[in-house]
C-alpha cells in the first residue's frame, strides 16, 4: 500500500466519518484518486452525506480494513504517536527501495 493511501486511510480511521475536503485539509494534498483506490480495495465505504452546503459524501472504514490490519475494533488502533512512527518507518523503507533501484541496474 502506498504511503498516500496509508495516510488517507489513517485520517479516515481516526476521524471517521470524514469527507474528502476534510481529508485533504489534514493531508494538504488531493485525495480523490486515493479514496477511489481505498473504495476499490474495500478498506473504506460511504457513510452517508454530511449535512452542510454541498452535502459531501462521508467515508468510514470497513470490516475488511479491520481484518487486513488485524484489529478487532477501532479501539485497537495505535496511538497517534505510534502511527506517526509507523509512517516514518514506511517512508524510510520506500526511500531506501528507490535509492537501491537508482544505484543497481535492473
What is the reported pLDDT for 82?
Answer: 83
C-alpha cell at 32: 480523490
Helix%, strand%, coil% for the chain, nearest 5: 60, 10, 30
Residues 99, 104, 105: CA angle, nearest 5 degrees: 125
pLDDT digits (tens, 9 = 90+) for 24-50: 999 989 999 999 999 999 999 999 999
Residue 13: pLDDT above 90? yes
Q: How far apart are CA 89 and CA 83, in angstroms?
A: 10
Q: What is the pLDDT of residue 65?
A: 95
Q: Is the pLDDT of residue 105 over 60?
A: no
pLDDT of residue 83: 76
Q: Which three cell numbers stand for residue 58?
A: 462521508
State the chain's mean pLDDT as an integer.
Answer: 89
Amino acid 104: pLDDT: 56
Amino acid at each position: 500500500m502506498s504511503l498516500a493511501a496509508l495516510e488517507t486511510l489513517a485520517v479516515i480511521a481516526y476521524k471517521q466519518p470524514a469527507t474528502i475536503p476534510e481529508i485533504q485539509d489534514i493531508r494538504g494534498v488531493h485525495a480523490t484518486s486515493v479514496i477511489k483506490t481505498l473504495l476499490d480495495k474495500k478498506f473504506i465505504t460511504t457513510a452517508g452525506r454530511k449535512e452542510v452546503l454541498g452535502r459531501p459524501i462521508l467515508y468510514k472504514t470497513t470490516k475488511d480494513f479491520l481484518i487486513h490490519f488485524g484489529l478487532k475494533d477501532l479501539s485497537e488502533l495505535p496511538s497517534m504517536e505510534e502511527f506517526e512512527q509507523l509512517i516514518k518507518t514506511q517512508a524510510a523503507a520506500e526511500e531506501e527501495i528507490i535509492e537501491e533501484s537508482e544505484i543497481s541496474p535492473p
